[in-house]
Amino acid sequence: MPETVVITGASRGIGRACAEAFAAAGYSVAACYHQSAAAAEELVRGLRAAGTDAEAFCCDVAEPDSVRRMADAVLARFGRADVLIANAGIAQQKLLCDITDAEWRRMTDVCTGGVFYSCRAFLPHMIRRGSGSIVTVSSVWGVRGAACEAHYSAAKAAVIGLTKALAKEVGPSGITVNCIAPGVIDTDMCAGFSGEDMRELAESTPLGRIGTPQEVAAAALFLASPAAGFITGQVLGVDGGFGL
């Protein structure tokens, strides 16, 4: 039976690239989405056409009951969850004094809470099996901090702390937990930036360009592979040197 990867935020961007990369590596794919049903179903149809066992699951990662139902549905459908890519997230640019209480809560509920709820839902299964790999997705801003993105930076920094703590907690159960901190990646999250902004960000990156979702997915695939079996609790910057 093929190993199964569960990917939150799989309908687009980094999550979609992860789904395609893991499918190409022979995994069955549980593609989780919240609002982009059409995109998720189109992704699944494409994966199935290429011979991958794939299914789309609707889930709001900010709601623990929704995550629990999704996990139950995934395990009922595939019978196993070998890898969890906790990728779902949102972004917003705003001065700290202008961030509303609701915006702060939503940011932390999705970006940090979503990782926590997803890990909590699948860990009992992984612990019983004595194996598994979790890859969380933070951001270069979770490492460095970013002006006008205090709530996003704080939520993504918390993902790093959660990753390191969880790696220590579940290592004895044969489970690895690592984090990817992408830099500026060509996804919908950059849609609010002007062309000039993107050029400046590329120029600020030592490699002189913007990253691709496929490059982040390749890092996730490596961290979930046997080749990374003795790597846990680490933060891998996929940022072209931007985080240096």
Q: Active-site positions? A: 152
Of 216, 92, 104, 233, the C-alpha closest to 160 is 233
Rounded to whole angstroms, the Cα distance separating 183 from 215 reads: 11
- Alpha-carbon 41 to chain mean position: 19
SS3 label, residue 6: strand
DSSP 94: B
Evaluate whether 155 touches 111 at the Cβ level (below 8 Å): yes
Instruction: List Cα–Cα distances, 63 to 48, 49, 109, 115, 126, in angstroms.
Output: 29, 32, 8, 11, 21
Q: How is 183-233 classified by DSSP, letter by letter? A: -SBSSGGGTTS-HHHHHHHHHHSTTSS-B-HHHHHHHHHHHTSGGGTT--S
